[in-house]
């Protein structure tokens, strides 16, 4: 998903729902986990529920904290990402004429319709072997192991749904440095797997790329492809408006920009701007807070201003109000954040 800020673009909530279901089965207080994210079990029951990238990432971090002592659970969580959990993206893949076409469609739309720290692509070796490959340059260190283990399960499940009557994957090369403790041997679901590679790759078995998915249907493929394209267009349109609002706040200083002034700059009525932001699940105040957070982090990293001056620069009446807001945004006080940045240098 292309985005300017983690609150700027909405994404489907299917991944959040899966992780929440796993936490519930593990006995976690789901309501308490979701509350700091401004989510609730009831809200997630709505099939039209969408979440922000910030909420997705925050839940991933909380999920890993609560399940890190559960060997193999991250992989098993990945196995829950059935192709139909991706909505129209899953349907267009199932209706493709061949498995190769299905994977082309899936990887083409995946990054636009979902948010993933890992980036997927379909490629071929010099020997003509086709494989799915991930790059992990955008994965934070604290989520890297989780992302790698979960992807092992999610891609196996995806290929199993596309080819339910055969072993679709010939072998796996994993970026994990070594076999995790929960894996007893050199195979995963009967698939040979090796570790310590620069990137994770799932090699397709011979002849699999030419197979027809179980629901192959040209008419339905065209229909669901159009639906995917409309979703991408709508999300890009929403992101464009949000990005323009975000940039106006960033360039002009959020404390100097009212919603009325921003609406005027965009040649919109104030109510129209509020409505368009609401259609994206956002508010002017939430974008204002994000800009302040990014500005605060930059000022704290520079070390040139004391915390009181930073609070004033950002429009807070007192340092305590700034410290409270910053901890709500990041889970750390401004002083803790600054110390952490200095220690990392």
- What integer pLDDT is reported at residue 87 of this predicted model? 84
Q: What is the pLDDT of residues 58-100, one digit of tens each?
A: 899 999 999 999 999 999 999 999 999 888 888 999 999 999 9
Backbone φ and ψ for 132, nearest 5 degrees, come out as -95, 130
Specify whether the CB–CB gap between 180 and 71 falls below 8 A.
yes
Predicted confidence (pLDDT) per residue in 197-220, tens digit: 999 999 999 999 999 998 999 999
Residue 120 burial class via C-beta count within 10 angstroms: exposed 0-12, middle 13-18, buried 19 and up: buried
In this prediction, residue 74 carries a pLDDT of: 98
Per-residue pLDDT of the chain (345 residues; tens, 9 = 90+): 444 445 555 677 889 999 999 999 999 999 999 998 888 999 888 877 778 777 888 899 999 999 999 999 999 999 999 999 888 888 999 999 999 999 998 888 777 777 677 889 899 988 889 999 998 887 888 899 999 999 999 999 999 999 999 999 999 999 999 999 999 899 999 999 999 999 999 999 999 999 999 899 999 989 988 888 877 776 666 667 777 787 778 767 666 778 888 888 777 788 888 888 887 777 888 888 888 888 888 888 877 788 998 988 888 888 999 999 888 888 888 888 888 877 765
């Amino acid at each position: 998903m292309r985005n300017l800020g983690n609150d700027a673009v909405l994404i489907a909530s299917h991944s959040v729902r899966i992780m929440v279901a796993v936490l519930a089965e593990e006995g976690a207080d789901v309501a308490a986990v979701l509350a700091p994210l401004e989510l609730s079990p009831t809200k997630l029951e709505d099939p039209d529920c969408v979440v922000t990238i910030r909420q997705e990432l925050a839940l991933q971090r909380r999920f890993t904290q609560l399940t890190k002592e559960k060997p193999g659970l991250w992989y098993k969580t990945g196995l829950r990402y059935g192709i139909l959990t991706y909505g129209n993206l899953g349907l267009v893949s199932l209706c493709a004429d061949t498995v190769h076409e299905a994977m082309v469609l899936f990887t083409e739309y995946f990054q636009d319709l979902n948010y993933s720290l890992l980036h997927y692509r379909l490629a071929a070796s010099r020997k003509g072997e086709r494989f799915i490959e991930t790059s992990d340059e955008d994965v934070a260190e604290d989520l890297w192991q989780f992302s790698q283990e979960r992807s092992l399960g999610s891609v196996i499940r995806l290929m199993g749904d596309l080819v339910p009557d055969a072993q679709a994957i010939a072998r796996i090369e994993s970026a994990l440095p070594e076999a995790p403790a929960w894996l007893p041997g050199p195979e995963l679901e009967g698939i040979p797997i090796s570790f310590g590679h620069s990137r994770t790759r799932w090699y397709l078995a011979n002849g699999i790329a030419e197979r027809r998915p179980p629901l192959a249907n040209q008419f339905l493929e065209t229909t669901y492809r159009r639906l995917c394209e409309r979703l991408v267009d709508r999300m890009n349109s929403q992101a464009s408006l949000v990005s323009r609002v975000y940039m106006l706040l960033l360039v002009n200083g959020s404390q100097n920009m009212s919603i009325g002034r921003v609406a005027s700059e965009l040649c919109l009525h104030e109510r129209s701007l509020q409505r368009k932001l609401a259609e994206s699940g956002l508010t002017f105040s939430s974008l204002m807070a994000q800009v302040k957070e990014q500005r605060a982090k930059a000022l704290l990293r520079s070390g040139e201003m004391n915390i009181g001056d930073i609070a004033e620069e950002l429009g807070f009446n007192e340092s305590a109000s700034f410290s409270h807001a910053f901890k709500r945004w990041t889970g750390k006080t401004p002083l803790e954040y600054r110390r952490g940045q200095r220690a990392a240098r």
